[in-house]
């Protein structure tokens, strides 16, 4: 039984015989009811076990699964992985120059999604010049809030505070672009 709700969610009740008790996690319950957990999220759900008696099979457990799902907003897990792995080509870098000093590059609170790579272009240019002076060791510290939102599908913090909208797909690309600019250079200009 499937009900389409006015808010865009769907309520499903399914009765099934299984060879073993299902996992109780949302992903398994959605899959048993025919929903792709990468495209839907479970709003609520439960299941009950009933015993059915038959002369052929004896006592057989049946599972009644009741879930309410809604389509996910934003990026799916596979889309997020695709964004991170987009056009990655392994590269071997040779060392060009090194020095006796150490360099620590702190990158706190970048808030990609709100901040764009274009906003940091001048800072990245200056950072590249500093790195090319050569160092014994370069440490890149990514400190706190790399992304504006702690969530992928909604723009909010872990505690649920609503934030201004952030384009998380672009945020991933901007973060990758930043690290693509400084990590290879740090490898070339340090021991």
Clarify whether residues 21 and 64 are in a common domain.
yes
DSSP SS3 for 177: helix
Q: Note the pTM of the prediction, 2 decimals.
A: 0.51
**Consecutive H or E run containing 25:** none
Q: Quick one: 132 and 83 in the same domain?
A: yes
Per-residue confidence band for 150, with pLDDT thresholds at 50, 70 and 90: low
50, 71, 92: which is the final residue of a domain? 71
Same domain for 167 and 144, yes or no, is: yes
Contact present, 107 and 145 (Cβ < 8 Å): no
Helix, strand or coil for residue 127?
A: helix
Q: Which of these three, 71, 93, 128, is where a domain ends?
A: 71
pLDDT class for 163, splitting at 50, 70, 90? Answer: low
User: CB under 8 Å to 161, separation ≥6 — which residues?
Assistant: none
CA 56 to chain CA centroid, Å, is: 48
**Main-chain dihedrals φ then ψ at residue 170, nearest 5 degrees:** -65, -35
| Count of domains forming the chain | 2
**Which of 150, 147, 148 shows the shortest CA–CA distance to 158?**
150
How far apart are the C-alpha atoms of 28 and 25, rounded to whole Å?
6
Q: Are residues 112 and 177 in the same domain?
A: yes
Q: Nearest Cα to 170, choosing from 77, 41, 109, 79?
A: 79
Report how far residue 144's alpha carbon sits from residue 28's, in angstroms, rounded to the nearest whole number.
33
Query: Is the model's pLDDT at 114 over the cut of 80?
Result: yes
**82 and 50 part of one domain:** no
- Tell whether the model's pLDDT for residue 108 goes beyond 90: yes
- Say yes or no: 62 and 97 in one domain: no
Instruction: Kindly state whether residues 117 and 184 are assigned to the same domain.
Output: yes
Looking at the structure, tell me whether residues 45 and 124 fall in a common domain: no
Tell whether 89 and 181 lie within a shared domain: yes
The residue among 22, 78, 152 whose CA lies nearest residue 30 is 22
Beta-bridge mates of residue 147 = 112
Determine the length of the chain.
Answer: 191
Give the lowest-confidence range in 27-36, 82-91, 94-103, 173-182: 82-91
Residue 95 sits in the same domain as residue 181: yes
Mean pLDDT (the chain) is 83
Domain final position from 34, 54, 71? 71
15 falls in which pLDDT band (50, 70, 90)? Answer: confident
Q: 66 with 81, same domain?
A: no
110 in the same domain as 54: no
Its domain, for residue 42, covers: 2-71
- pLDDT over 90 at 40, yes or no: no
Q: Given pLDDT bands bounded at 50, 70 and 90, which one contains residue 47?
A: confident
């Amino acid at each position: 039984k499937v009900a389409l709700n006015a808010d865009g969610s769907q309520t499903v009740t399914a009765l099934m015989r299984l060879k073993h008790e299902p996992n109780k996690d949302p992903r398994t319950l959605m899959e048993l009811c025919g929903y792709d957990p990468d495209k839907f999220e479970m709003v609520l759900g439960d299941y009950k076990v009933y015993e059915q008696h038959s002369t052929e099979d004896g006592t057989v457990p049946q599972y009644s699964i009741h879930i309410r799902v809604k389509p996910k907003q934003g990026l799916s897990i596979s889309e997020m992985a695709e964004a991170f792995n987009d056009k990655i080509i392994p590269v071997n870098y040779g060392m060009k120059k090194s020095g006796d000093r150490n360099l620590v590059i702190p990158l706190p609170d970048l808030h990609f999604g709100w901040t764009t790579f274009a906003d940091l272009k001048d800072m990245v240019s200056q950072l590249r010049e500093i790195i090319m002076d050569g160092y014994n060791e370069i440490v890149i510290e990514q400190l706190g809030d790399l992304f504006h939102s702690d969530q992928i599908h909604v723009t909010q913090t872990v505690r649920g505070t609503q934030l201004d909208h952030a384009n998380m797909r672009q945020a991933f690309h901007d973060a990758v672009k930043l690290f693509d600019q400084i990590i290879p250079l740090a490898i070339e200009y340090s021991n």
